Amino acid sequence: MRGPYLLRPLQVDIIVPSGVGGVFCLAKNPRKVVFVGRAEQDLRDAIKAYWKQYEFFWFEPALSKRECYINHCYCYHNQMGNGGLDDDTHPAPPEKMDIKCPVCGK
Ligand SMILES: [Zn+2]
């Protein structure tokens, strides 16, 4: 994960490549991630959508939907074991793809 970076629209445009999918983390305090999400198409737009709710972000681009999902699972389980998340719903696999979570097998 790259970050933390300050979550402001201009910052995101400068730091995050456009048209790339990946996983991102959000926080109000740079030491405690409280949201883990993924964008299959555009990481930049997905992160910017949260700029009023969170102060910091991290991101990791992915080359495929499969890689993106797997990274999402690892981040999710890491953070759940590190104090929990605002939304503790397990990541869902990409549509029409039969992939299991590499951590818990769900
Ligand atoms: Zn899992």
How far apart are alpha carbons 69 and 38 in whole angstroms?
8
Q: pLDDT tens digits for 59-102?
A: 999 999 999 999 999 999 999 999 999 999 999 999 999 999 99
Which residues, by Cβ under 5 Å, contact ligand 1, an ion? 73, 101, 103-104, 106
Q: Looking at residues 22-39, what average pLDDT do you find?
A: 96
Instruction: Tell me what pLDDT residue 106 has.
Output: 85
Instruction: Tell me what pLDDT residue 98 has.
Output: 93
Which pTM was predicted?
0.94
How far apart are alpha carbons 17 and 44 in whole angstroms?
7
Phi and psi based region of residue 54 (left: phi greater than 0; alpha: psi -120 to 50; beta: remaining): beta
Q: Rounded to the nearest whole angstrom, what is the distance from the C-alpha of residue 69 to the centroid of ligand 1?
A: 10
Q: Rounded to the nearest whole angstrom, what is the distance from the C-alpha of residue 50 to the centroid of ligand 1?
A: 24
Instruction: Spell out where 1-106 has E strands.
Output: 2-6, 22-27, 35-39, 56-61
Q: Rounded to the nearest whole angstrom, what is the distance from the C-alpha of residue 100 to the centroid of ligand 1?
A: 8
Domains, the chain, with CATH or none: 2-80 (3.40.1440.10)
Q: Rounded to the nearest whole angstrom, what is the distance from the C-alpha of residue 23 to the centroid of ligand 1?
A: 15
Mean of all residue pLDDT scores within the chain = 96
Task: Give, as one character, the DSSP assignment of residue 32.
Answer: B
